[in-house]
């Protein structure tokens, strides 16, 4: 199966992405869900889901389409694990990731707010996530699961504002189960019913990038307008 990249390009992290070549390497990383899954297996997919949902400087990692592609590859038997194990592992990673973000925000959140803006962090991420909390309350943790960037910063903000642990647990677990089951099972059943879909992985990933980017842009614009 042709791949859109040449592997999981760790060397792209050695720079600040200031040059076009580095930006292209970063874009290739995002498109390399197939390489991540086929070469790294369930362990690497689980690690990435954990990092993207709980560590603030990992917000750029593939999330939505990695779940979809993992489910599809499971249905195609390219990723040879039972779909129940896939869903359990990724749900556990998503829940644990949010708990990591929550306790980071609770105990170290103030230091994050004092950081200067850079490629990996901008205060606007916190501002926009706060606006989502003001609009949706605790449901922002569930809705945010389907929105890049907010997905990473929502649990951190929940910790900063000291959301009650029991309330956080309900939204965290419920959101993780919805997010993982919907995307993984969608990919799984499409892979089983339409095996030829494997020839269009790159186009599916690009479509996911465009859809999620548009969703984030529209959400930020609407929330910013409502704040004003």
Query: Within a 10 A sphere around the Cβ of 195, how many other Cβ atoms?
Result: 13
Query: pLDDT tens-digit profile of 16-37?
Result: 334 444 444 544 555 566 667 7
Give CA–CA dist 38/227, Å, rounded.
44
pTM over 0.75: no
125 phi, psi to nearest 5 deg: -60, -45
- Which letter does DSSP use for residue 61 in this model? S
Q: Each residue of 74-107: b (16+ CB within 10 Å) or e?
A: bbbebbeeebeebbebbbebbbbbbbbbbbbbbe
Please check the confidence at residue 211 and state whether its pLDDT lies above 60: yes
Give CA–CA dist 103/113, Å, rounded.
15
Confidence of residue 177 (pLDDT cuts 50, 70, 90): very high
Could you state, in order of their start, the residue ranges of all structural domains in the chain?
Answer: 33-227
Q: Which residues contact 33 (CB under 8 A, 6 or more apart)?
A: 62, 65, 66, 69, 70, 201, 205
Query: Within a 10 A sphere around the Cβ of 135, how many other Cβ atoms?
Result: 15
The most confident of 54-63, 114-123, 136-145, 165-174, by mean pLDDT: 165-174
Please check the confidence at residue 59 and state whether its pLDDT lies above 60: yes
| DSSP-derived 3-state class of residue 145 | helix
């Amino acid at each position: 199966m042709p791949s859109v990249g040449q592997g999981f390009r760790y060397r792209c992290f050695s720079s600040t992405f200031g040059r076009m070549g580095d930006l292209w390497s970063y874009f290739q990383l995002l498109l390399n869900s197939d390489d991540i899954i086929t070469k790294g297996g369930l362990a690497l997919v689980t690690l990435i889901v954990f990092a993207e949902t709980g560590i603030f400087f990992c917000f750029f990692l593939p999330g939505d389409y990695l779940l979809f592609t993992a489910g599809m590859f499971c249905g195609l038997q390219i990723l040879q694990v039972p779909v129940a194990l896939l869903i359990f592992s990724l749900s556990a990673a998503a829940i644990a990731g949010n708990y990591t973000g929550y306790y980071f925000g609770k105990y170290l959140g103030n230091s994050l707010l004092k950081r200067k803006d850079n490629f990996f962090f901008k205060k606007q991420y916190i501002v926009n996530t706060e606006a989502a909390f003001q609009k949706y309350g605790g449901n922002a943790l569930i809705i945010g699961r389907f929105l890049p960037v907010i997905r990473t910063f929502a649990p951190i903000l929940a910790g900063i504002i000291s959301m009650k642990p029991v309330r956080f647990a309900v939204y965290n677990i419920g959101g993780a189960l919805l997010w993982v089951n919907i995307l993984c099972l969608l990919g799984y059943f499409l892979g089983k019913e339409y095996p030829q879909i494997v020839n269009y992985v790159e186009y599916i990933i690009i479509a996911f990038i465009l859809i999620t980017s548009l969703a984030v842009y529209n959400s930020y614009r609407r929330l910013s307008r409502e704040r004003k």
